[in-house]
Amino acid sequence: MTQKRSLLPDGIERYATVDMVHESPVMRALRAETSTLPRGGMQIGADQGAFMALLVHLIGARQCLEIGTFTGYSALVVAAALPPDGRLIACDVSEEWTSIARRYWQQAGVADRIDLRLAPARDTLAALIRGGASGSFDFAFIDADKTGYDVYYESCMTLVRTGGVMLLDNALQDGAVVDPSAHEADTEAIRAINQKVRDDPRVESVLLTVGDGVLMARKR
**Applying CB under 6 A, which residues contact ligand SAM?**
42-44, 68-71, 73-74, 91-94, 97, 120-121, 143-145, 148
| Residue among 61, 198, 63 at smallest CA distance from 133 | 63
- State in angstroms the smallest separation of the CB of 54 from ligand SAM: 16
- State in angstroms the smallest separation of the CB of 117 from ligand SAM: 9
| HSE-up (13 A, CA, CB side) for residue 106 | 6
- Smaller CB separation from ligand SAM, 1 or 20: 1
- State in angstroms the smallest separation of the CB of 169 from ligand SAM: 7
| CB-CB contact of 186 with 160 (8 Å) | no
3-class SS of residue 44: coil
| Rounded Cα distance, 25 and 201, in Å | 42
- Smaller CB separation from ligand SAM, 69 or 194: 69
The full DSSP string for 87-104 is EEEEEES-HHHHHHHHHH
DSSP H stretches of helix in 116-214: 121-130, 149-159, 185-198
- State in angstroms the smallest separation of the CB of 195 from ligand SAM: 21
- Smaller CB separation from ligand SAM, 68 or 86: 68
- Smaller CB separation from ligand SAM, 15 or 97: 97
- State in angstroms the smallest separation of the CB of 134 from ligand SAM: 20
- Smaller CB separation from ligand SAM, 129 or 202: 129
Dihedral of CA 95/115/135/213: which sign? Answer: negative
